[in-house]
Structure 1
């Protein structure tokens, strides 16, 4: 992207704020410039949302998930600061025209232009849903056309707002005419609500109006509840798919991948963005389909389990490594969540601790190490007492379990979330598609199993320190010599 000159009168964190782009129920959007002079879109959340601590926590979790979405048909989240006085979310800046403006200015789309829009929006939903995100407010104003190719904007934030129930009396998160009946009925919306929004948006593009018309809120909601959309004027090749996607029952609507299949069957494959729009895409090679977030969480736990098992064999080196890893992961989590560190690439995420949060994570590590040390001491003491009563004291077994408990408590003990959270981010950034995730999973599982087997069958090695019993024996000899000398 080409750097752009601009005013330096207002800022949101490190971003210079320029002209207003738009305003919605959750805040205002401004064009901005990052530290390199590249254009971004900065969404500033409304003050009444910012004062709600629960909303900030939910938004932080949503932003973590939203960062995983990578698609040429989605304006990806580049950065966010949910701890600022006025929280903001930064996305890729789209140089295009909103779908509603295009249709009103030039008339409804048809033929190849309509196929391109419908297929591109379906591809966007595949990427969004694949990352575990539900848009919840897909509509013509949230679709930008770049050389005729759609790019979805403003996704994910509505989830955090709706979850905190911050809507005004009589107001819902969504736009009448484009939101599914499940939202109106107060049910928890899933990916099917975006399929509904897809159909309503494509209908608008095809005939220039919502499938449920306009008018008062009550009349539009009543038509939605009736389940009888007006698709008069929609091309015959598109009509059956739109009706299926507008089913009142979410379970009867096709999935986003099914929409992609049907659209490809209806016409040529979705074209790529024109060369003039290439500069707006940070990563055209990123895959749209990704593993579920649960997969990365499982891999994080397996990694932590393997690290803990390694400490059974190498208590000193393993324990020191776990403490260092705990500091690194805490610093990265603090930098990403609180210090406005952008996470556009895996490299920036790996280096996130250098951008901020180091002092805070060091301070947080002191009680964490103390907490883990007390837990490990309690476990070791309990094992010693039990074996002493049984008359079979085995210092090796006690040492192993003490080291394992210490390592686990540092990285994943009760209410210890920062290391796991940052580890999930790292795994998600480094293994970005299903094949890479499968390879990473096999490697992590093999290492974890190897560490567990070694921890079970091998005695603990204290290198570069001598074994504790030798140290204790030497201290006892020194004490005896001192008492003898004093006597």
Structure 2
């Protein structure tokens, strides 16, 4: 099959979505293919699922994702270049990330310092989103939406992001986000309570999973997971130092006013906790060395 050519506002793009070519990724709203900018630069082209293209709410959400990612410039947030409608299909053209998911990356980079650095960069990205006027709430922070490129975290997929004070685009009773990472206010569909602490909760759950290999709340069905999100405190885990666990517990408090109120506050608490752990290890090492030499 011939390649598809797309004419955007400032450039044109081409890609081949036909077999044997395969998508390089897939999100909740579409498949992502490798393509090229008219100047030869590699790009990622996300195509809205055909079954969603007939629903205005999904088309609006897809276009909003493109608009948000086109207007923002931050080293830890995916950058989009264009939104193109052609032959009844909807496309978002973005920078092609040459990296891996944060989950894959951390399988070969287990140091706690590496993890805290990446977590800090995710929180920098969220602080930037939350500092916009009006605020932008991601609403779907999870490992699958964080890539690592050249050792740097990149927050992806703003498809369900909420612009505070913006047009309501979700129906009552429809859960936005992913149950394993969604805070109680999101589980209950309280759109009026969606704010930066919503992302802070999801980020705390995400960090917990990346430290332990498993989300704190999981089950055989979505209902049981949602019930745990609303009622249960994240469990202690042997792979999480106590100081860091206490930070994550506060980030994932069920009451929004008991969480960190900004991503920057969360980041500073994490950095303080890791510094305390390093001090503890340094003191322990000095005691062990002293005992050995005596």
- Please classify the TM superposition score into its range, dividing by the shorter chain length: 0.7 to 0.9
Aligned to 2:266: 259
Please state how far the C-alpha of 1:245 moved relative to its aligned partner: 0.9
Asked whether 1:144 is paired with 2:144, we answer no
Q: Does 1:248 align with 2:242?
A: no
* Residues 1:238 and 1:11: Cα distance change in structure 2 (over 3 Å): farther
Q: Does the 8 A contact of 1:137 with 1:174 survive in 2?
A: yes
Structure with larger Rg: 1
Question: Is the contact made by 1:69 and 1:127 (CA closer than 8 Å) also made in structure 2?
Answer: no
User: Who is 1:70 aligned against?
Assistant: 73
- Decide whether the 8 Å contact of 2:233 with 2:249 is kept in 1: no
* Number of aligned residue pairs: 257
Structure 1 pair 216–58 and aligned structure 2 pair: CA distance change class (3 A): closer
Matched, 1:17 2:18: no
**1:147-179 CA distances to partner (integer Å, 9 max, x unpaired)?**
33211111244549x943379xx8633222111
Indicate the residue corresponding to 2:137 in structure 1: 134
* In 1, Cα distance between equivalents of 2:270 and 2:72: 22
Does the 8 Å CA contact 2:43/2:95 hold for their aligned counterparts? yes
The two structures, once aligned, show a CA RMSD in angstroms of: 2.9
Higher strand proportion: 2
Give ranges in structure 2 of 5+ residues lacking alignment. Answer: 17-21, 276-294
Q: Give how far 1:83 is off.
A: 7.5
Inter-partner Cα distance in structure 1 for 2:217 and 2:125: 24
- Aligned partners of 1:12, 1:231: CA distance in 2, in Å? 51
3-state secondary structure, aligned to 1:243: helix
1:248/1:12 Cα in 2 relative to 1: closer, same or farther (>3 Å)? farther
Displacement, 1:231?
3.6
Contact 2:44 2:95 in 1 (8 A): yes
For 1:89 and 1:179, locate their aligned partners in 2 and report how far apart those are by CA, in whole Å: 26
Cα distance in 2 between the residues matched to 1:84 and 1:129: 36
Q: 1:218 aligns with which of 217, 223, 234?
A: 223
1:27 is aligned to 30
Structure 1, residues 387-423: CA drift from partner, whole Å, max 9, x if none?
xxxxxxxxxxxxxxxxxxxxxxxxxxxxxxxxxxxxx
- The CA distance in 2 between the partners of 1:28 and 1:166, in whole Å, is 24
Residue aligning to 2:200: 195
Displacement of 1:54 after TM fit?
5.0
Q: Equivalent residues in 2 for 1:268-307 (5 A)?
A: none
Q: Map residues 335-414 of structure 1 onto 2, 5 A cutoff.
A: none
- Does the 8 Å contact 2:31/2:48 carry over to 1? yes
Match in the other structure for 1:117: 118
- Partners of 2:186 and 2:4 in 1: CA distance: 37
Which structure's residues are more often helix, by fraction? 1
Distance 2:138 2:65 in 1: 11
2:45 counterpart of 1:42: yes
The TM-score, its normalising length taken from structure 2, stands at 0.76
Shift of 1:252: 2.2
Aligned partners of 2:87, 2:201: CA distance in 1, in Å?
35
For residue 243 of structure 2, the aligned residue among 234, 237, 240 is: 237
Q: 1:209 to 1:57 in 2, by over 3 A?
A: closer
Counterpart Cα distance in 1 of 2:73 and 2:228: 35
1:257 Cα deviation from its structure 2 partner: 1.8
Q: What is the distance in 1 between the residues matched to 2:156 and 2:270?
A: 21
